[in-house]
């Protein structure tokens, strides 16, 4: 049976709505009283796994799910061995460098050499500053990275920004955008090539619905 890995959090509602339009109903995951992490869709066509967004590509890469929906930011950071198939055009955000509004920095190149940059996206941050030929220390943080500059632990952060409200309310501002991110449909590479569980049928339907919404 086809198995789809769905991300907890902000992408879940849109992911379920999209899959409903192609005939897969995992809306039980939206029921706050439901505690199941694996369900079968109402038509018995597929199973859904409810996992953390960062774990979606792991389940797909290791073949526990043939399809998954995940943010491009996760794919850029983790670089999993999965097939990236469709830009689903929801869940827009951007990966940005931000600093305190009161700081003198108005560009990443203004940051001091060997200064500190806090981020949960360690690989993306490291690659970006390497591309600028600016040596910095990347400080891994997995909670509120905004506290890095606020407390003086770091000069800047690299983090996902949606509306920018959290930055503004904490006295921070964006000074550069690394890339933009949206939700993506991914597949297990071998399952995709072998068309396991009629995978191409579901991928084509998702692609058709997504293009029709443009």
Residue 123 scores a pLDDT above 90: yes
In the beta sheet, which residues pair with residue 47?
A: 3, 40
Rounded average pLDDT over 136-161: 96
Give me the pLDDT at residue 194, please. Answer: 94
Give me the pLDDT at residue 42, please. Answer: 87
Report the distance separating Cα 119 and Cα 105, nearest Å. Answer: 18
pTM attached to this predicted model = 0.93
Q: Tens digits of per-residue pLDDT, 17-59? A: 999 999 999 999 999 888 899 999 988 989 999 999 999 999 9
Location of each CATH 3.40.190.10 domain in the chain: 2-90+181-213, 93-180
Instruction: List the one residue out of 57, 56, 155, 45 whose CA is nearest residue 100.
Output: 155
Q: Tens digits of per-residue pLDDT, 68-90? A: 999 999 999 999 999 999 999 99
Please enumerate in sequence order all residues whose Cβ is within 8 A of that of 26, keeping only pairs 6 or more positions apart, or say none: 4, 6, 16, 19, 39, 41, 48
Q: Does domain 2-90+181-213 have CATH number 3.40.50.150?
A: no
Q: Does domain 93-180 have CATH number 3.30.300.30?
A: no
Give me the pLDDT at residue 34, please. Answer: 85
């Amino acid at each position: 049976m086809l198995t789809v890995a769905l991300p907890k959090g902000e992408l879940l509602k849109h992911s379920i709505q999209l899959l409903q339009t192609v005939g897969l109903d995992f809306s039980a995951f939206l029921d706050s009283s439901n505690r199941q992490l694996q369900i079968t869709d109402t038509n018995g066509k597929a199973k859904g796994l409810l996992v953390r967004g960062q774990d979606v590509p792991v389940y797909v890469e290791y073949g526990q799910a043939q399809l998954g929906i995940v943010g491009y930011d996760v794919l850029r950071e983790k670089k999993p061995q999965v097939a990236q198939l469709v830009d689903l055009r929801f869940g827009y955000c951007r990966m940005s460098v931000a600093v305190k509004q009161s700081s003198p920095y108005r560009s990443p190149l203004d940051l001091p050499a060997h200064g500190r940059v806090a981020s949960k996206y360690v690989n993306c941050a490291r690659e970006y500053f390497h591309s600028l030929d600016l040596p910095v220390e990347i400080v891994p943080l997995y909670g509120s990275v905004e506290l890095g500059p606020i407390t003086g632990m770091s000069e800047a952060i690299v983090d996902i920004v949606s509306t920018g409200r959290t930055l503004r309310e904490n006295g921070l501002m964006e000074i550069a955008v690394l890339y933009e991110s949206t939700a993506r449909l991914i597949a297990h590479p071998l399952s995709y090539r072998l068309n396991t569980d009629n995978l191409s049928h579901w991928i084509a339907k998702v692609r058709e619905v997504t293009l029709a919404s443009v």
